[in-house]
């Protein structure tokens, strides 16, 4: 079953990144940009899970959760917020939230929390992803963190593996920098952006043996893994 998620995030860029990540993980996502829009959507559709930013215009996440709880007492709600104060977490749970994640966050942890919340209502999302990708003359095994070429086998670091896996899942398509940064580092800023460029350079070196496999820089947008079989 594709779980239906109501995502509410007033930061358009972050909302797009989260929505895109969840969709690629197999979820059905409806993205709203404030609590008023979300409440209207909640009245029109059914959802299995709510992911709400806290600080939003027109209607904040806590108020939205309290209004939804008057209608639906069972739908799990996960709050996303820049606040980490204990008082804020308590306020979130009192408003009807089931879990709380502080920005910036790791997408791996984010998805695990979503899966845990969905299990409470007996919804299991099974997304079968390939563990081995064929890249020209290379074989990339993302479970074993290895790239096997004609002449050598290279073991990848955790971040190298994560980056290449994201590019492989979107092979021959442009992947925005912020999607990679948020998925791997949990944030998008200048310093982790420089780190990403270093990792991309390393991965390119691992693949240079086959000219049919290239990681292109798409200026102002992101990266594209081209594999001409």
Q: Model confidence over 132-190: pLDDT tens digits?
A: 999 999 999 998 999 999 889 999 999 999 899 889 988 888 888 877 887 777 666 77
CA distance 156 to 146: 6
Contacts of 179 (CB under 8 A, 6+ apart): 17, 20, 21, 166, 222
CATH class of the domain whose range is 4-120: alpha beta
pLDDT tens string 47-65: 999 999 988 888 899 999 9
Is the pLDDT at 125 greater than 70? The verdict is no
Interior angle at CA 192, CA 215 and CA 114, nearest 5 = 90
Going by C-alpha positions, the residue among 15, 74, 16, 12 that lies closest to residue 46 is: 74
Specify the higher pLDDT residue, 164 or 121: 164
Going by C-alpha positions, the residue among 52, 120, 49 that lies closest to residue 91 is: 52
Asked whether the beta carbons of 76 and 98 are under 8 A apart, the reply is yes
Asked whether the beta carbons of 130 and 140 are under 8 A apart, the reply is no
Tell me the percentage of the chain whose pLDDT exceeds 70.
93
pLDDT tens string 78-102: 998 877 666 777 777 788 889 988 8
As beta bridge partners, residue 135 has 138
pLDDT given at position 123: 66
Is the pLDDT at 5 greater than 60? The verdict is yes
User: What residue spans in the chain does CATH classification 1.10.10.10 cover?
Assistant: 132-227
As beta bridge partners, residue 100 has 79
Q: How many helices (H) and strands (E) does the chain have?
A: 8, 12
CA distance 191 to 10: 24
Asked whether the beta carbons of 17 and 182 are under 8 A apart, the reply is yes
For residue 141 the two structure tokens come to 């095994």
Confidence of residue 73 (pLDDT cuts 50, 70, 90): confident
Asked whether the beta carbons of 227 and 136 are under 8 A apart, the reply is yes
pLDDT given at position 221: 85
pLDDT given at position 127: 54
Average pLDDT over residues 204-209: 93
Backbone φ and ψ of 191, nearest 5°: -70, -45
CA distance 229 to 220: 27
Average pLDDT over residues 204-210: 93
Q: Which residue has the tokens 């992911």?
A: 51
Q: Counting Cβ atoms within 10 Å, is residue 94 exposed (0-12), middle (13-18) or buried (19+)?
A: exposed
Is the pLDDT at 75 greater than 80? The verdict is yes
Confidence of residue 128 (pLDDT cuts 50, 70, 90): low
CA distance 80 to 104: 9
CATH class of the domain whose range is 132-227: mainly alpha
Average pLDDT over residues 110-118: 90
Look over the chain and give the mean of its residue pLDDT values, rounded to a whole number.
Answer: 87
pTM of the prediction?
A: 0.60
């Amino acid at each position: 079953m594709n779980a239906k998620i109501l995502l509410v995030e007033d930061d358009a860029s972050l909302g797009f990144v989260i929505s895109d990540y969840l969709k690629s993980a197999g979820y059905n996502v409806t993205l709203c940009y404030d609590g008023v829009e979300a409440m209207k959507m909640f009245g029109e559709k059914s959802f299995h899970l709510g992911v709400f930013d806290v600080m939003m215009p027109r209607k904040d996440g806590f108020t939205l959760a309290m209004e939804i709880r008057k209608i639906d007492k069972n739908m799990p709600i996960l709050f996303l917020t820049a606040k980490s104060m204990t008082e804020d977490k308590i306020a979130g749970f009192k408003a009807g939230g089931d879990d709380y994640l502080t920005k910036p966050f790791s997408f791996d942890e984010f998805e695990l929390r979503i899966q845990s919340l969905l299990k409470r209502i007996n919804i299991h999302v099974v997304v079968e992803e390939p563990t081995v990708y064929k890249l020209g003359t290379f074989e990339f095994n993302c479970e074993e963190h290895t790239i096997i070429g004609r002449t050598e086998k290279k073991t990848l670091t955790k971040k190298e593996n994560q980056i290449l896996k994201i590019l492989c899942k979107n092979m021959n398509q442009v992947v925005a920098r912020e999607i990679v940064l948020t998925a791997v580092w949990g944030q998008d800023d200048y310093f982790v952006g420089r780190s990403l460029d270093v990792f991309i350079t390393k991965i390119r070196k691992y693949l240079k043996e086959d000219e049919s496999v290239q990681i292109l820089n798409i200026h102002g947008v992101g990266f594209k893994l081209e594999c001409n079989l």
